[in-house]
Amino acid sequence: MSKFLIFLLVLTTLISLSEFQKAPKNPPKNPPKNPPKTGPKNDRCHQTKVEGKDCGGTRWWYVAKEKVCKPFQYKGCGGNQNNFDSFASCQKACKGH
């Protein structure tokens, strides 16, 4: 590999790691609870709109043709198994493939 390609790989990794730090660390596991139903103003039909937040973030995928793990912005739902939490877990699972 040329020095330039190695430089680009390192630069991409550093940029991705800085973006990963901005992503939510622990997405919510349970939906928000409804308030106690003590009257008509507290039922779910009278609550205000809450859009929530993006629970995706930076994930890693293995590019088989290049034999390297690369970052991407995960939307939070769906996808396939070529989707790893970290560069290290991607490398561990796919090294040598």
CATH of the domain at 83: 4.10.410.10
Cβ 58 vs Cβ 84: under 8 Å: no
Give residue 68's pLDDT. Answer: 95
Is residue 6 in a domain? yes
Structure tokens at 64: 């088989």
| Range of the structural domain that residue 69 is part of | 1-22+55-97
Q: How many domains does the chain have?
A: 1
Q: Please give the pLDDT value at position 20.
A: 55
Which H/E stretch holds residue 59?
A: strand 57-63
Sites in the chain below the pLDDT cut of 70: 1, 4-11, 13-42, 51-53
Q: With respect to residue 63, please indicate whether it lies within any of the assigned structural domains.
A: yes
In a domain, 78, yes or no: yes
- Kindly state the percentage of the chain with pLDDT values over 70: 55
Predicted model pTM: 0.47
Q: Give the C-alpha separation, 73 to 75, whole Å.
A: 6
The residues, any chain, with a CB within 8 Å of residue 97's CB and separated by 6 or more, are 62, 64, 67
- For residue 39, the tally of other CB atoms under 10 A from its CB is 8
Q: Give per-residue pLDDT as tens, 41-60.
A: 557 787 777 766 677 789 99
Q: Is residue 44 in a domain?
A: no
Q: Which of 65, 84, 93 is nearest to 20 (CA)?
A: 84
